[in-house]
A and B are shown apart, each in its own frame.
Chain A
Amino acid sequence: MKKENKFFKYLSLFPISFYVIVLILLPLIYIFCLSFLTSDYYGGINYSLTLSNYLNLVDLVYIKLFIKSFLIALVSTFICICIAYPFVIFVSQKKKIVKNIIMTLVMVPFLTNSLIRTYGWIVLLRKTGIVNTFLEDLNVISSPISFIYNDFGIILGMVYTLLPFMILPLFSAVDKIDKSVIEASYDLGSTSFKTFFNIIVPQTKVGLFNGSLMVFIPAIGYFFIADLLGGGKLMLIGNLIKNQFLSARNWPFGAAVSISLVLITFGLVKIYQKIGGKMDDLGGF
């Protein structure tokens, strides 16, 4: 017989419930409320309800920023898919031990500081960097190429930082496909191209969407990548939120931008669940 031990029940459930309510729910509710208030000249908060923060968002400057940020995130996600799909398909054809070693090695960059790795790209690609100096010494180019401090730099940084998040869920999806189905497809005269789109993609669509979420959502918010490798001042929605909270000190407006981001995220997660994705597979690599 199972003993109902009230003490253990509370011991296991109280900390987690307290945590969820005070440290997850409450901050989000507070941000939500904040987004309907305004800030005064000194960065303090006026307690009068208004929709002005959301209405201010419908300004050409912010609409452009949103579109640009989404485009950068979208392009980064697409490039990650183009690299990760062939990679995981080729790796899944290897022996088990080789697969394990390769997938462990994919994790290694994760374990070094992401800023230091991003700085590695600066050292390589800046105008006085290794690549430009090398090309100039060989007389391939006469003046240095601007690889970074532009949108290309931001996309490179995003793809580089987030690629493992695409590879891991996609690999576990591709590795589960029954190899005999793929062989049957070839035996019946399908090309690799057809097999990929008719067999592999439909069977791995949940993993694909999972990886896309894990790339797309951070790519909207990773302000430090845009700070380090981008050109202008306001580049991503993440930079906008950071500015509102730390420099402009207009917290209510920053809160409104954040709430919009949260709503978009929830929408994407709903789609993920619709196509059969499990919540426990998100980020649980």
Chain B
Amino acid sequence: MKKSLKNIFIFLVFLFLFLPIIVLVIFSFNSSELNIVFENFTLNWYINLFDNRELIEAFSNTIIIAIVSTIISVIIGTLGAIGLHKYDFAFKNVINKLLYIPIVIPEIVLGISLLSIYTLFKLELSIYTILLSHIVFSIPFVVVSVRSAISNNVDVLENASYDLGASNFQTLFYVTLPSILSGVKSGALLSFTLSLDDVIISYFTAGPSSNTLPLKIYSMIKTGITPDVYALSTILLLVVFIVLTISILVQMRSIRRNSI
């Protein structure tokens, strides 16, 4: 097949993936609220955004939940991955297998089973139950990505560290953690993005007054989303783009350096 045809195909897939995103960016600058034709350029939605207190509150809840759940999942998941690698105990295989459950079962099943267990234990649904639920689905992703970074090399280095008289915690902080850092980072990134965009599990575990951005948007869709939500999403997209561009530039640099 011709090279140009292949490039056209790649371009069409990207068009498909980005079309709705392009639409929302364009309409965030539109003076009309109707989203059918572009009337006049305006920045009003960006300015009005900060007056929409409900939206700002939902947004800050989302960010706080994403940050806190990522920190807690990374701590439990990283320690767990190291522990499960190092030590043998009776139910190790069972624990390892059960850890895959949140990754493979449909999210809705995880959502309703957490809702049921919270009701059983009479936990009142609130922002804290959303947080706990996000930790529940994030931990396995952290364990899996940390585990992929633990190689046999780490064992050798750890043994060397012990032989040289380092304590367990010195070994953990100066030897083990630095060598599995790439896994910890990708686990953290994964759990942060999963939490940021979660609809289904938050939907079942949120209290009546607790709101996150996805839940807020979900409730708005039936009546129509106002362009200030587009404005907020465009700002978020811009942040993501800047971060990704930096990471690509860093990659390019390291590739160039390696090729020299």
Digit string of A3-37 for contact with B (CB within 8 Å is 1, else 0)?
Answer: 10101110111011101100111111011001000
CB distance from A211 to the nearest CB of B (A): 14
In the complex with contacts A112-B240, A121-B20, A192-B1, A11-B36 CB distance below 8 A? no
CB-based contact B214/A115 at 8 Å:
yes
Cβ–Cβ contact A19 & B145, under 8 A: no
A51-59, A98-106, A146-154, A173-181 - interface stretch: A98-106
Given contacts A192-B1, A279-B100, A16 and B159 within 8 Å (CB-CB): no
A83 to B15, alpha carbons, bound, how many Å? Answer: 13
**Closest approach, in angstroms, between the C-beta of B157 and any C-beta of chain A?**
12
Check if B80 sits within 8 Å of A284, measured CB to CB. Answer: no
Closest CB-CB distance, A23 to chain B, in whole Å?
Answer: 5
Query: When chains A and B are docked, how far (Å) is the Cα of A272 from the Cα of B105?
Result: 14
Q: Residues of A contacting B107 with CB < 8 Å? A: 218, 221-222
CB of B260 within 8 A of chain A? no
CB < 8 Å: which of A34, A109, A119 contacts B221?
A: A119
Decide yes or no: A284 and B108 within 8 Å by CB, A9-B87, A90-B6, A100-B251 being known contacts.
no
Please measure, in the bound complex, the distance between the C-alpha atom of A86 and the C-alpha atom of B196, giving whole angstroms.
31
Are B9 and A16 in contact, CB atoms less than 8 angstroms apart? no
Interface status of A68 (Cβ within 8 A of chain B): no
Complex CA distance for A87 and B120, rounded to whole angstroms: 48
Whether A123 pairs with B145 at a CB distance below 8 angstroms is no
Quick check: A16 and B84 within 8 Å, CB to CB?
yes
Are A255 and B116 also in contact (CB < 8 A) when A19-B139, A218-B106 are? yes
Beyond A16-B84, A104-B247, whether A261 also contacts B106 by CB under 8 A is: yes
Contacts known (A2-B162, A129-B36); A282 close to B255, Cβ less than 8 A: no
Query: B63 at interface (Cβ–Cβ under 8 A)?
Result: no
Main secondary structure of the interface of B (DSSP, over half): helix
Alpha-carbon distance A228/B219, docked complex (angstroms): 11
- Shortest Cβ gap from B202 to chain A (Å): 11
CB-CB under 8 A for A284 and B141, given A9-B87, A120-B23: yes
CB within 8 A of A280: which of B147, B172, B190? B147
Known: A90-B10, A100-B248, A119-B225. A265 touches B106 (CB 8 A): yes
14 contacts between A and B (CB under 8 A): A12-B80, A12-B87, A15-B79, A26-B117, A28-B113, A87-B10, A100-B251, A104-B244, A106-B17, A110-B197, A111-B236, A113-B233, A242-B203, A285-B190
Given known contacts A24-B102, A255-B112, what 20 new A-B pairs fall within 8 Å (CB)? A13-B84, A16-B83, A16-B84, A17-B95, A30-B120, A104-B244, A113-B217, A115-B217, A119-B221, A121-B20, A130-B36, A133-B37, A164-B17, A213-B104, A217-B105, A242-B108, A245-B204, A251-B116, A254-B112, A265-B106
B: residues with CB less than 8 A from A are 1, 6-7, 9-10, 13-14, 16-21, 23-24, 27, 35-37, 75-77, 79-80, 82-84, 86-87, 89, 91, 95, 98-110, 112-117, 120, 132, 136, 139, 141, 143-145, 147-148, 158-159, 162-163, 167-169, 172, 190, 193, 196-197, 199-200, 203-204, 213-214, 217-218, 221, 225, 229-230, 233, 236-237, 240-241, 244, 247-248, 251-252, 255
